[in-house]
Amino acid sequence: GAVVSQHPSWVICKSGTSVKIECRSLDFQATTMFWYRQFPKQSLMLMATSNEGSKATYEQGVEKDKFLINHASLTLSTLTVTSAHPEDSSFYICSARELGRAALRYNSPLHFGNGTRLTVT
Amino acid sequence: DAKTTQPNSMESNEEEPVHLPCNHSTISGTDYIHWYRQLPSQGPEYVIHGLTSNVNNRMASLAIAEDRKSSTLILHRATLRDAAVYYCIPSGGSNYKLTFGKGTLLTVNP
């Protein structure tokens, strides 16, 4: 089955530093990837839609200059948390939808990574 | 986005069937009904999705009401590994994003 690999699985960084999280689709291509954030005991919140070869689309209230997204290829999207602060500590999850299957494009399942636990001290 | 209503939590015994309900009365005509589940400290996992007809796969069955305003995810024999938060998400057509609600926390008792 389709696999999405997310790296690192956890990271601890100091306040003010930047952290990059990678999301790779291992056995399929994805023009679109999605980034979510999840705080403890809460549901996933969509942060942005990452589009291969173009700018990401951010959800309302998400700072695009703080959460930099790059989708340089059909199998890789990165999220960089810049100048991280303790309130950015969260579980970040990426997901991707397979390219192709045109008839089901908007309804094919999303494949999720296993998440990255970010702790900012 | 279509609003969904799911029980906050449900309990089941191992090897018994589980019926997880979801109301999505504002679903649009082109939206599919997706179900995902999330185990602790993991990313969500796709379970099943359907449009109008009932659907079956190796993980579960999805029963969709005739008016499409509600659906039920059926786990035929719950196992301890099925303990998770289950999310029902209408999505499709021009709205291809998945917006997660609070979901149902399923506890499976041995």
More confident residue, B29 or B9: B9
Using 50, 70 and 90 to split pLDDT, how confident is the model at A106?
A: low
Rounded CA-CA distance B77/B43 in Å is 23
- pLDDT over 80 (residue A74): yes
Chain A to chain B Cβ contacts (< 8 Å): 61
Note the pLDDT of residue B3: 87
B→A interface, C-beta within 8 Å: 32, 34, 36, 38, 41-46, 49, 51, 87, 91-94, 96-103
Can you tell me the mean pLDDT for B6-29? 96
Can you tell me the mean pLDDT for A53-77? 93
Rounded CA-CA distance A82/B79 in Å is 42
Rounded CA-CA distance A100/A28 in Å is 10
Note the pLDDT of residue B45: 96
Note the pLDDT of residue A104: 53
- pLDDT over 50 (residue A103): no
- Asked if the C-beta of A45 comes within 8 angstroms of chain B's C-beta atoms, the answer is yes
Note the pLDDT of residue A76: 94
Out of A5-19, A96-110, B59-73, which region has the weakest mean confidence (pLDDT)? A96-110
**Closest residue of chain B to A48, computed from CA coordinates:** B97
Rounded CA-CA distance A11/A30 in Å is 25
Can you tell me the mean pLDDT for B18-43? 93
Please state, rounded to an integer, the average pLDDT across all residues of chain B.
93
Can you tell me the mean pLDDT for A88-104? 79
Q: Which two tokens stand for residue A2?
A: 């389709």
Tell me whether residue A82 is exposed, middle or buried, using C-beta atoms within 10 angstroms of its C-beta: 0 to 12, 13 to 18, 19 or more: middle
- pLDDT over 70 (residue B48): yes
Question: What's the count of helices (H) and strands (E) in chain B, helices before strands?
Answer: 0, 9
- pLDDT over 80 (residue A102): no
Rounded CA-CA distance A34/A109 in Å is 12
Rounded CA-CA distance B73/B54 in Å is 10
Cβ pair A34:B97 closer than 8 A: yes
- pLDDT over 90 (residue A2): no
The separation between CA A80 and the C-alpha centre of its own chain, rounded to angstroms, equals: 9
Note the pLDDT of residue A25: 93
Out of A115-119, B62-66, B79-83, B94-98, which region has the weakest mean confidence (pLDDT)? B94-98
